[in-house]
Amino acid sequence: MRIECPLLLAVLAVGCAHDGYKHLSPETMTGRALSVAPVTEQVAQTVDSEFRDAAGVKVGTQSTVVGYTTVTTGYQLKLGEAPVDERDFYHLAGDTRSEDVIANARARGKLKNRIGNAVGLASLAAAIAIPIIAGRGAAPYAVGQVFVVAPIGFGVAVWGKRQVERYNFPASHPFGAIQQATPGWATSLDAR
């Protein structure tokens, strides 16, 4: 049982994926416009210095922060000042093709999440049941499957959950949906 406890906690951490789609109606837009805001991060600029002894042998290094640069790391979709789900954003913008792409990706992600969780849980259950049913001689095989099958199942579950939580189009895509010119920060994100 010592082996199964951490894996059981991993199952609880993976959890089941759910879609945050609220199906906002166009009436919710009254007085609020759709927009795309850059997500930025402060990155330190450093200068590295070397220290050498009298014989010229390197004895140490030092990094000194000389300033910070603002870097755009992503984007956030908004309705007025409030963040909005991607599918809601494209629904309100009238871009049904993008909305369908997100809906299909999330449906596939939910399926992967459910299958992965089922495989992982079945593997744990089998690892507990096999030695009980088949005897102690089968225990090494049961433990072996926990280390092979369970991580694969839970890996698929995590992959599916990530697909449900966020589907990212290129940064320039939402600007086309709301018929605005693409700013430079979005173009530079697409180029990465």
Task: Answer yes or no: is 164 within a domain.
Answer: yes
Strand order in the sheet with 82-83: 34-52, 58-79, 82-83
Other CB atoms within a 10 A radius of the CB of residue 22 amount to 12
Task: Answer yes or no: is 62 within a domain.
Answer: no
- The residue segments making up the domain with residue 132 are 4-38+87-191
Which contacts of 10-15 are long-range, i.e. CB under 8 A and separated by 24 or more positions? 10/120, 10/154, 11/117, 11/120, 11/121, 11/124, 11/154, 14/113, 14/116, 14/117, 14/120, 14/154, 14/157, 14/158, 14/161, 15/161
Task: Answer yes or no: is 68 within a domain.
Answer: no
Positive or negative: CA dihedral 177, 178, 179, 182:
negative
- Tell me which residue has tokens 């629904």: 91
Task: Answer yes or no: is 34 within a domain.
Answer: yes
Task: Answer yes or no: is 159 within a domain.
Answer: yes
pLDDT in the model for residue 97: 92
Task: Answer yes or no: is 102 within a domain.
Answer: yes
pLDDT in the model for residue 10: 58
Using one digit for the tens of pLDDT, what is the confidence trace for 13-40? 566 766 666 677 766 666 678 899 999 8
Residues of the chain with pLDDT under 50: 1
Q: Which residues of 168-190 are buried (b: 16+ CB within 10 A; e: fewer)?
A: ebebbbbbebbeeebeebbeebe
Task: Answer yes or no: is 120 within a domain.
Answer: yes
Task: Answer yes or no: is 51 within a domain.
Answer: no
pLDDT in the model for residue 1: 46
Number of domains in the chain: 1
